[in-house]
Amino acid sequence: MKLPKILIVPGSIRGGSFSTRLGASAFKVFSLLECEVTRISLSDYPLPIYDFDLESKKGVPDNAVRLARLFHAHDGVFLVSPEYNGSTSPLLKNALDWISRVKNNDKRTVVPYKGKTIALAATSPGKFGGIRCLGHLRDILTSVGAIVIAEQVAVGSAGSAFDDMDALTSERASANLNCVCNSLVKTARLLSMK
């Protein structure tokens, strides 16, 4: 039986980003599960702000195609978002919008979202841990055909939530992350067998 492939995508690129740190923590959890795991940074895939006129004139940017191919090639995606004014980061939303525009690449069909198993996570320096942005992300992803698992993780007081090795210091948060990662792998495995 092939191992499910999991992609980790933090929705922030600033130095010391809490979302990147949670992605690193998740990477360690996934590394102990029966799966293949890849972690990327959106800083390696710069994109212009989505604009239909720009797309009409120049087509979909190569980095959007590269991201869409990554989503397509993985059975599950672990998205981590910071909370910006009660919603997801503009960086992540823009990447998701551009990815949705990719249908084909090198004459091959690319399906980045439809039927893709996705787990959501959020971080925030506030007490709510970015929980408000997760509903927005869920709406965005289900509208493009993704299967967003029910389990999710929100890490509050993120400035003190990690140790020097990016492990979560709260047993409760750590147990929640383990639950989400296990559920993503299990669901991705089941759905990839269809």
pLDDT tens digits for range 115-173: 999 999 999 988 888 899 999 999 999 999 999 999 999 999 999 999 999 999 999 99
The angle subtended at Cα 118 by Cα 117 and Cα 124, nearest 5°, is: 170
- pTM reported for the whole predicted model: 0.95
Q: Is the pLDDT of residue 42 over 90?
A: yes
Q: Report how many domains make up the chain.
A: 1
pLDDT of residue 185: 97
Residue 67 tokens, joined: 């991201």
* Average pLDDT, rounded, for the chain: 94
Contact 155, 82 (CB under 8 A): no
What's the CATH code of the domain at 100? 3.40.50.360
CA gap 152, 185 in Å, rounded: 13
Buried b (16+ CB within 10 A) or exposed e, 56-86: eeeebbebbbebbbbbbebbbbbbbbbbbee
Give the range of the structural domain holding residue 61, as residue numbers without chain letter: 5-192
- The confidence band for 183, taking pLDDT boundaries of 50, 70 and 90, is very high
